[in-house]
Amino acid sequence: MSDATTTDLYEVTMAMSYLREGMTGPATFSLFVRDLPPERGFLVAAGSESALDYLSGFRVGREDVEAFASALHRPARGLQPLLGLEFTGDVRAVPEGRIVLAGEPLLEVTAPLPQAQLAETYVLNQLSHQTAIASKAARCVLAAAGHPVVDFSLRRTHGPQAGLQAARLGAMVGFAGTSNVAAATALGLPAVGTMAHSYVEAFATEEEAFRAFARCHPGPVTLLVDTYDTEEGVRVAARVLRDLDRGPGSAVRLDSGDLGALAARARSILDAVGLPDVRIIASGGLDEYAVDDLVRSGAPIDTYAVGTRVGVSADAPYLDSAYKMVEYDGRPVMKLSSAKVTAPGPKQVFRRTAYSDVIRLADEQPHGDGRPLLETAMRDGRRTGGRPTLDECRERFAADLACLPPAARRIRDPVAPRATASEHLSALARRVRRRIYEQTSAPYARPARP
């Protein structure tokens, strides 16, 4: 089976019906986030590269048809119209690393209706998950206020692929390294890590553990000092590092307790024995809120290692994202469900000063300043360019972040900018709404036949 089967069953049933009915005209679907999660002033667009990889290789094979048939309890011959279906459409997407706001399309797919429908589940999954993680990681970088942040999330992410994505997304928004060896190797990132408490416990004393670790690893080492008594652990680490002349570049790691107070005490101990170059690394349940508190308190922490809470975006583990049809066969469409109204027509977002963004129709000429966010990424089922490098994504993020209003950058109680709809888009929405009301009420308004 291929990744074509990584979909919800109703995508298959709808695609089959469209094919049976001959409904293969071009459809445009728009992917966006309705509202930002609480305590978010912005989102970082991510996941489009995974979506483009999926669409580039999308093809329904014989085994896929058999899997669909099994799921539907039907003979495979009844689903033969799906066999050989490939993605031949166009995709416009916000490049990864760019900052986006609620309501703004992150990606739009235009393809024959069955293809565009079958793309929904995988594409929505990738952009929703990765945008949530990238946005959480970006807030950690903001909170750290220039101190390095590293990724320790792999052991508790929701699967190895999610761990790889978390490492990449952290690097995209400015993380200095990752503990994930596979990610570090594949992405060219600095690999970082220390030791576990079990390592210390395996030796008779902390000092034996620290000396053995240093013997095995020439050069700077990082020693975990809170297995037993933290302050005593710092003293032992200081003695070992000084005896072995391993101070510069080395570090001690604090993983529990009152990190701010312990960091202050550790700094005092290290400085008193002539080890001012030994750094202090903090870990243990950290996220942007804890990092912000520590930085604001003046804690002498050099590097922040964030893990579980960031790798799963613990306070906002999902986005209110949607993938909705906005046009079919040249006819603009919209959804009118309560609290889930969508805007019709393919769109473009224009980024203006201070994030006073305007969402316009894709073919609408902008008035005044503003740069379009959505770029053509696929045409006729093929990528239009190469995969962006991490450095390119970092540069986009840094440039967008520098222009983000201070209120949106706040860790607590941020105020997110809001995009507005152009008059042409608003007028189209009014016309489509009126047309829908007229069509749905017409059968009840006709007089009965004599």
CB distance 130 to 158 below 8 Å: no
442 burial level (CB within 10 Å; 0-12, 13-18, 19+): exposed
Q: What is the CATH number of the domain that holds 354?
A: 3.20.140.10
- Spatial separation of the C-alpha atoms in residues 449 and 367, rounded to whole Å: 52
Burial string for 127-149 (b: 16+ CB within 10 Å, else e) reads bbbbbbbbbbbbbbbbbbeebbb
Q: Is residue 294 part of a domain?
A: yes
Q: Are residues 196 and 88 in the same domain?
A: no
Contact residues for 44 (Cβ-Cβ < 8 A; gap 6+): 97, 98, 99, 100, 131, 134, 135, 137, 138, 169, 172, 173, 397
Q: Are residues 254 and 389 in the same domain?
A: no
Q: Is residue 449 part of a domain?
A: no
Long-range contacts of 16-21 (CB under 8 A, 24+ apart): 16/79, 16/81, 16/82, 18/113, 18/114, 18/117, 19/81, 19/82, 19/114, 20/81
Contact residues for 228 (Cβ-Cβ < 8 A; gap 6+): 200, 206
Q: Are residues 246 and 356 in the same domain?
A: no
Phi, psi of 78 (to 5 degrees): -75, -15
Residues paired with residue 110 on neighbouring β-strands, in sequence order:
28, 90
Host domain of residue 153: 140-311
Q: Is residue 446 part of a domain?
A: no
Q: Is residue 329 part of a domain?
A: yes
311, 339, 374 - which closes a domain: 311
Q: What is the CATH number of the domain that holds 246?
A: 3.20.20.70
The pTM for the full model equals 0.94
Structure tokens at 312: 């799963």
Q: Are residues 299 and 333 in the same domain?
A: no
Q: Are residues 305 and 411 in the same domain?
A: no
Q: Are residues 278 and 303 in the same domain?
A: yes
Q: Are residues 171 and 37 in the same domain?
A: no
In the 3-class helix/strand/coil scheme, how is 114-183 assigned residue by residue? HHHHHCHHHHHHHHHHHHHHHHHHHHHHHHHCCCCEEECCHHHCCCHHHHHHHHHHHHHCCCCEECCHHH
311, 334, 360 - which closes a domain: 311
234 burial level (CB within 10 Å; 0-12, 13-18, 19+): buried
Q: Are residues 151 and 108 in the same domain?
A: no
Question: Looking at the 3D structure of the chain, how many domains does it have?
Answer: 2
Q: Are residues 377 and 404 in the same domain?
A: yes
271, 294, 311 - which closes a domain: 311
Q: Is residue 450 part of a domain?
A: no
Q: Is residue 335 part of a domain?
A: yes
pLDDT values of the chain reduced to their tens digit, one per residue, 450 residues: 899 999 999 999 999 999 999 999 999 999 999 999 999 999 999 999 999 999 999 999 999 999 999 999 999 999 999 999 999 999 999 999 999 999 999 999 999 999 999 999 999 999 999 999 999 999 999 999 999 999 999 999 999 999 999 999 999 999 999 999 999 999 999 999 999 999 999 999 999 999 999 999 989 999 999 999 999 999 999 999 999 998 789 999 999 999 999 999 999 999 999 999 999 999 999 999 999 999 999 999 999 999 999 999 999 999 999 999 999 999 999 999 888 899 999 999 999 999 999 999 999 987 777 899 999 999 999 999 999 999 999 999 999 999 999 999 999 999 999 999 999 999 999 999 999 998 877 554 444 444
